[in-house]
């Protein structure tokens, strides 16, 4: 199949530029790679050639095909060499002034029909194109690193971008073997915008002293199925990359509380504690392997107290069945006896609030997170309140670990860990749809392919129940008094009428 763009110019010979050049050549386009430093251009070409040679050695690419690919990838020694290109993709440093200047120069060289595209991940496409005479021919074409493996591409229309330009870029992305998603020109586009809920809420939990980095990572991997916990992910990405993105999106949205960055990452960035690349981040690394202390074994309790479960507990029937299967002695009275371990299972509220409202003895009260079906999770999470007695904490921990399932015990937190992280992810995704940044379908595609989540945030909201997510948000807003947790109207309306979060409006 003939490629939509026969001749493609790539400006910038870093990892992103190399990756785009590689897949463009594989698609059938003639590719001209340019960088201000000619040595970098040659090195990038050599690196791509080496990649094809490795694929040949592994039997994943025919030698004749590799020769053909190599013939399509040439180095350009000046920007003027790109004059005949049908498409030029920029992948240079993330600075508005540099990108805008580059495109102004390119526009004066190329044909009026040439499509100019920026690979920016965080800058406004409209702002980059502001001084162009033909902004209709300009769009965002955002790939993810490593380009050959990350199969999603954000196609971003600026304020004056022609619809046909976006259509051609999307079709070309499909020819490349990638999945295009259409996004409006808003801060973070889709992927970097939707990713705000995961890391920033985890950082907020740590900043409240609820628990430590490793425990949060364990909880979110074991309860939800994330491949990497938020702190493992930030270590892998590097805080020199992730923290500036947090700040950029926060400020571009005029200090919207949902995107508020954390002093924790600001301080660690200033101190050079960047992550795996420097062997020191939220974890220490030896030979590239995180050094994580093993979890201590569950406590041994000689005599287990009886257990009373709040009548307001979420999934109460399931919790009572779980306790029965664990061999607990269950009290069934209207109120707990003076000896009973008291369990509550709130959505969004902290344990202190529940104990006060339900007039329970806080010294004997713990919470258990029942947002996720116990059968579907590999870890149970308990929360104490400031007055919880040590013997009650130990008894609850020992009881919940009787069948060998992992148990984490955290300090009091509105929404535990999983509830608040999931609710924030779903709420931000809902507000992306509210703003018409993209369709629900494109949002789910972009997040699952671009961030590697076990499912998209809207599917996650459907799984755990939009009404449950709304209850978590409303109650967290009560606990914390922070507009960060106000529900998106898009989510509130769908939750109120029982509509799937994946429903596409007419």
Residues classed as catalytic? 121, 142, 154, 192
Contact 494, 500 (CB under 8 A): yes
Q: Is it true that the peptide bond before 146 is cis, omega within 30 degrees of 0? A: yes
User: What are the C-alpha distances in Å from 73 to residues 28, 66, 91, 308?
Assistant: 10, 11, 16, 70
Cα separation, 273 vs 292, in Å, equals 17
Rounded Cα distance between 165 and 171, Å, is: 10
DSSP 331: E
207, containing H or E segment: helix 196-207
Q: Which residues pair with 30 in a beta bridge?
A: 7
Counting every residue written for the chain, the total comes to 506
SS3 category, 289: strand
Q: What tokens were used for 294?
A: 């093993």
Q: Are 427 and 471 in contact (CB under 8 A)?
A: no
**What is the DSSP pairing of strand 406-410 with strand 365-368?**
unpaired
- Tell me the C-alpha distance between 207 and 231, whole Å: 13
CB atoms closer than 10 angstroms to residue 333: 8
Q: Residue 257's CB: how many other CB atoms inside 10 A? A: 12
């Amino acid at each position: 199949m003939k490629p939509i763009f026969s001749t493609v110019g790539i400006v910038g010979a870093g990892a992103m530029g190399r990756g785009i050049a590689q897949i463009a050549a594989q698609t059938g386009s003639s590719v001209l790679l340019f960088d201000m430093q000619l040595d970098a251009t040659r090195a990038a070409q050599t690196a791509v050639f080496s990649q094809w040679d490795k694929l040949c050695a592994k039997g994943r690419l025919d030698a004749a095909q590799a020769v053909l690919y190599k013939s399509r990838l040439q180095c350009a020694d000046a920007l003027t060499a790109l004059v005949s290109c049908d498409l030029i993709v920029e992948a240079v440093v993330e600075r508005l002034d540099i990108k805008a200047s580059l495109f102004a120069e390119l526009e004066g060289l190329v044909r009026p029909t040439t499509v100019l595209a920026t690979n920016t991940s965080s800058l406004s496409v409209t702002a980059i194109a502001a001084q162009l005479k033909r902004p209709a021919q300009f769009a965002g074409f955002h790939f993810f690193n490593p380009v050959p493996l990350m199969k999603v591409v954000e196609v971003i229309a600026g304020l004056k971008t022609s619809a046909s330009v976006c259509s051609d870029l999307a079709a070309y992305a499909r020819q490349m073997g990638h999945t295009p998603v259409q996004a409006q020109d808003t801060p973070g586009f889709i992927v970097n915008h939707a990713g705000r809920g995961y890391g920033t809420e985890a950082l907020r939990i740590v900043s409240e002293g609820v628990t430590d980095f490793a425990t949060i990572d364990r909880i979110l991997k074991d309860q939800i199925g994330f491949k990497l916990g938020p702190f493992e992910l930030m270590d892998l990405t590097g805080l020199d990359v992730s923290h500036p993105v947090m700040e950029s999106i926060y400020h571009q949205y005029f200090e919207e509380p949902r995107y508020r960055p954390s002093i924790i990452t600001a301080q660690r960035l200033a101190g050079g504690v960047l992550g795996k690349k420097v062997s020191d981040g939220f974890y220490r690394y030896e030979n590239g392997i995180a050094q994580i202390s093993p979890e201590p074994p569950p406590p041994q309790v000689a005599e287990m107290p009886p257990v009373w479960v709040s009548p307001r507990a979420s999934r109460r029937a399931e919790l009572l069945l779980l306790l029965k299967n664990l061999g607990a002695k269950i009290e069934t009275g209207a109120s707990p006896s003076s000896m009973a371990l008291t369990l509550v299972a709130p959505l969004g509220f902290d344990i202190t609030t529940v104990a006060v409202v339900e007039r329970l003895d806080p010294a004997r009260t713990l919470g258990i997170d029942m947002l996720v079906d116990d059968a579907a999770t590999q870890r149970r999470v308990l929360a104490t309140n400031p007055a919880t007695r040590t013997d009650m904490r130990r008894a609850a921990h020992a009881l919940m670990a009787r069948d060998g399932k992992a148990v984490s015990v955290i300090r009091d937190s509105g929404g535990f860990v999983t509830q608040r992280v999931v609710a924030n992810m779903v709420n931000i995704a809902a507000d992306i749809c509210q703003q018409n940044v993209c369709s629900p379908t494109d949002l789910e595609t972009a997040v699952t392919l671009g961030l590697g989540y076990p499912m998209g945030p809207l599917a996650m909201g459907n799984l755990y129940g939009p009404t449950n997510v709304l209850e978590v948000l409303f109650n967290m807003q009560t606990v914390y008094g922070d507009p960060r947790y106000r529900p998106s109207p898009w989510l509130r309306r769908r939750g109120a009428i029982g509509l799937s979060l994946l429903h596409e409006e007419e």
